Amino acid sequence: MTLRVLVVEDDQAIRSMLQSTLAVEGFEVQTAVSVSEARALLRHAPPDVVLLDLGLPDGDGSELVRDARQQTGIAVLVVTARHQESEKVKLLDAGADDYLTKPFSVGELLARIRVALRHRGTALSPAVTVYESDGLHVDLAARRVEARGLPVHLTPTEFELLARLVRSAGKVVTHRQLLADVWGPEFVDHTHYLRLYMGQLRAKIEQKPDEPRYLLTETGVGYRIAAA
Amino acid sequence: MNAVAPSGGPTDARKVRDAWVVCGLLAAATLVNLLLDRYVSVTSQAMIYVLAVVVASYTLGWLPSLFSAVAAVTLFNFFFIPPRYTFQVEAQENLFALFAMLAVALVISHLGTALRRETEAARMNERRARQLQELATDLAAATLPAEVHLLAQRHLGRAFPGPCVVALLDAHGNLQLQPEQESSYRDGMLACIREAATLGPGTGRWPGLHAWYLPLRAETHTGGAACVQNVSAYDHSGREHAQAICAQAGQALWRLKLSAGMHEAQEQSQWHRAQSTFLAAISHDFRTPLAAIMGAASSLQTQRDRLPPPQQERLLATILSESRHLATLTENTLQLGRLDHAGDLRMDWESVEEIVGSVLARVRQRDVAHRIQSRVPAALPLIKADPVLLAQLLENLLDNALKYSAELIELEVALKDHRIELAVHDRGDGIPAGEVLAIFEPYRRGDRSGQRGAGLGLAVCRAIARAHGGELSVHARPGGGSTFMLELPVDVAQPATESA
């Protein structure tokens, strides 16, 4: 089955570049130049992935994210310029799957689409319980973590934090989502918890905590565990 | 207080005091005459009375002097002129003596009063001159119209007893009066501003008023108006003094207006100059990578079939790297503009280790040879920072180091007292001593080793450092190369680490 991508972008040059690039990769590409056009398309022919540009002329896109959320199995990737942190975090919190910062390379774009498609429908399929990547092994069911073949002892909070990232492996998880899921909704503003616990986690798991391989920082947005 | 009593009769207390002085003097003269009665002639006794009258006339006003003269003659007549103890005057000579005494009293009183008035006027003039001098000194130090307003009000209040009100004109030419003063002062003040002259008693304009209305005026500029209540038409020197105070205040207001205008014009022209330098530099910096991209892309478009594959690859790589350079440039330009209007920094508790990590992840793409080595100590305190800006700062520094040196680059983080130091050591050519300051200026890049710099890069870095209450400096390294040192303050009050 051909996977369908909806590109929502008002700039003609970027739109046609994305269209041809994705078509070459075997996707069926639809395009929309505005949020309203995209919503209409979403209803008629639901795509598998939506590439949503921030800063469209007719709206901020959060309604589109909400629409896409209501139809299971649609992944939403937000495309932003740098310095639009607050908007992109808002869309991620609203349910967008991931984001890309302009200017991005085609390689980056395809990698993000692959990760987003892998997670699509996680609500239906059994949740990810095992993470295995290049020397790091995490088994959520057995609560076991091994780095470079050696068992790692984690505190319950550290484990919860790692588990939350593992369940979305390869995808960015915003500060807010992490704080709400690990500590509880009343702690969504306590970003310093994250800084401290991520520091401790990296110290236990990473070989070189100041240049992490697994626990990646998305500056100003959140964290991501490297795609398995 | 140099308050000057308004013209008018002496107070009751003073009348009583004068009466006591007159009575005392005359009683003393009479007593002395009675004691000397046996030894001296009537002429000498008359002289004693004259002495008393002279003293009284000299020290008191004309009315008490006249009274003392009449009383002295009456007493002299009663006690010493035969027939004694009667008011009868016998000899013509004695009658003449009486009139002479009266005349002496009047002349002396007149002279004394005039002298006293002159002395008083001289003292008053001196006080006023001193006040004007003091006012001039105070006004010279004033930097705001409000200060001038306050000074004018205070000095008028010191010089005149009646209520004094000063009001300034605002930028739109409206008189700034307190609501409760509106009705009583507005018309008079506006009229004196319109006529550019003092109104009120003694000025020939609006003589029916009981107050002077004076414009605060210098040259052609009127900065406001003052009103001095309860004044007399005959107080010429008082009016001149009030006018002098108001003229000084007007001068000061004019000076402030001129210097404000000059300052504004200066800023405007400086801003324009900076703006055009900035634009010229920016367009240069943008044009260069654009030219490279266009050249490579058009060459690929027209000659692709004739170019050998490695050549094609090189052109594509040029397009990519030049685009990346343009992206950095755009980022820095935007950021500098944003930092100028500080306030939209998004400060939060951040970990330096984390920021270093995210920057290294990005920079490694340009550092294939793995020339950057980092040393970050464990368990550093958190800092309040905008992570995106700090990451940009660090990325700029590391990119520069990669560009300007071909050897190992060290990124070293250390905790010193209450600050975190991030140092980037390179082994490049170093920065000539004369250029150390210039490299932090937007678009003053030293043309080092023929490389293109990010133009704004270091200016943005320093602006970011300062927006965080920190500092960015550069030092020459022993053995060649430079160290860029970023110092960031660490909040002593770290956030609570206990989680629920």
Q: Does B334 touch chain A (CB under 8 A)?
A: yes
How much is the pLDDT for B434?
73
Entry pTM: 0.59
Q: Which residue has the tokens 């993470």?
A: A131
Find chain A residues with C-beta within 8 A of B350's C-beta: 195
Name the more confident of B18 and A151: A151
Q: Which residue has the tokens 């070293």?
A: B412
**Architecture of the domain delimited by B142-261:** 2-Layer Sandwich (3.30)
Query: What is the third-level CATH fold of B338-489?
Result: Heat Shock Protein 90 (3.30.565)
Cross-chain CB nearest to A210 (options B353, B382, B387): B353
Range of weakest confidence among A159-168, B278-287, B313-322? B278-287
Which of A207, A217, A224 should we substitute to test contact with B (largest number of B Cβ atoms within 10 Å)? A217
CATH number at A130-225: 1.10.10.10
Q: Is the pLDDT of residue B282 over 80?
A: no
Indicate yes or no: CB of A210 within 8 angstroms of CB of B388.
Answer: no
The DSSP bridge pattern shows strands A130-133 and A136-139 to be antiparallel
A173 three-state secondary structure: strand
Name the more confident of B303 and A143: A143
Return residue ranges of chain B for CATH 3.30.565.10.
338-489
Cross-chain CB nearest to B376 (options A86, A184, A210): A210
How much is the pLDDT for B7?
40
Find chain B residues with C-beta within 8 A of A219's C-beta: 355, 358, 387-388, 391
- Residue pair B389/B345 in contact (Cβ under 8 Å)? The answer is yes
Most confident stretch, A52-56, B112-116, B146-150, B274-278: B146-150
pLDDT in tens, B116-148: 888 888 998 999 999 999 999 999 888 888 999
Distances B87 to B26, B74, B78, B80 between C-alpha atoms, Å: 17, 7, 5, 10
Return residue ranges of chain B for CATH 3.30.450.40.
142-261
How much is the pLDDT for B497?
65
pLDDT in tens, B200-222: 888 888 888 889 999 998 888 88
The DSSP bridge pattern shows strands A4-8 and A28-32 to be parallel
Q: How confident is the model at residue B449 (pLDDT cuts 50, 70, 90)?
A: very low
**Architecture of the domain delimited by A4-119:** 3-Layer(aba) Sandwich (3.40)
How much is the pLDDT for B398?
92
Chain B window 337-376: which residues touch A at a Cβ cutoff of 8 Å? 338, 346, 348-351, 353-358, 360-361, 374-376
Find chain A residues with C-beta within 8 A of B382's C-beta: 192, 195-196
Predicted ipTM > 0.90: no
Burial class (CB in 10 A: 0-12, 13-18, 19+), B367: middle
Q: How confident is the model at residue B454 (pLDDT cuts 50, 70, 90)?
A: very low
- Residue pair B253/B216 in contact (Cβ under 8 Å)? The answer is yes
